[in-house]
Amino acid sequence: MKFTASRLSEGNKVFPAEIHLEENNIEVKIPGLFSGDSKFLTYEDITSIEVDSPMIGFSTLRLFVNGTKVEIHGFSKKDIKEIRKIIEENRAKRRSR
C-alpha cells in the first residue's frame, strides 16, 4: 500500500515523501532535488512509533528503528492513522511467530 505526503505540506512542494507498506517491510522515500533518501525497514526492527497530529495542519510520523529515528512529514490524520494501524498489526504478527 502506498501513501504520499501532501504537496501543500512543508518540505514536500516539489518532491513529496512516500511510504510503501509491503508484506514484510516498509520503504520510506524522501526525495530531494539532486538526491533523495530511501530507507527499507523491517517490521521487526521498529521499536517505537510516534505520531504528531496538530489540530490544524499535517501530521508527522516518527519510526524508531534500532536507535535511529526516521521522520516523515506531510500526511493527513486519516492516512497517519491507517499507516500506524497497518504497521502495528504487522509488528504484532511478527512477534507472535
CA atoms 22, 65, 58, 92: torsion sign: positive
> Is 83's pLDDT higher than 90?
yes
Task: Specify the pLDDT at position 35.
Answer: 78
Tally the domains of the chain: 1
Cβ proximity of 3 and 81 under 8 Å: no
Cβ proximity of 97 and 90 under 8 Å: no
pLDDT at 87: 94
**DSSP single-letter state for residue 81:** H
Per DSSP, the three-state class of 56 is coil
Range of the domain at 17: 2-92
Alpha-carbon torsion angle 88, 90, 94, 96, nearest 10: 70
Residue 97 inside a domain? The answer is no
- The answer to the question of residue 47 being in a domain is yes
> Cα–Cα distance between 3 and 44 in angstroms, integer?
21
Domain with residue 44: its CATH number is 2.30.29.30
Per-residue model confidence as pLDDT tens digits over 20-73: 999 889 999 988 877 788 999 999 999 999 999 998 989 999 999 988 999 999
Tell me how far apart the terminal alpha carbons of the chain are, to the nearest angstrom: 23
- Helix H or strand E segment including 89: helix 77-95
- Looking at residue 29, its pLDDT comes to 92
Does residue 64 belong to any structural domain of this protein?
Answer: yes
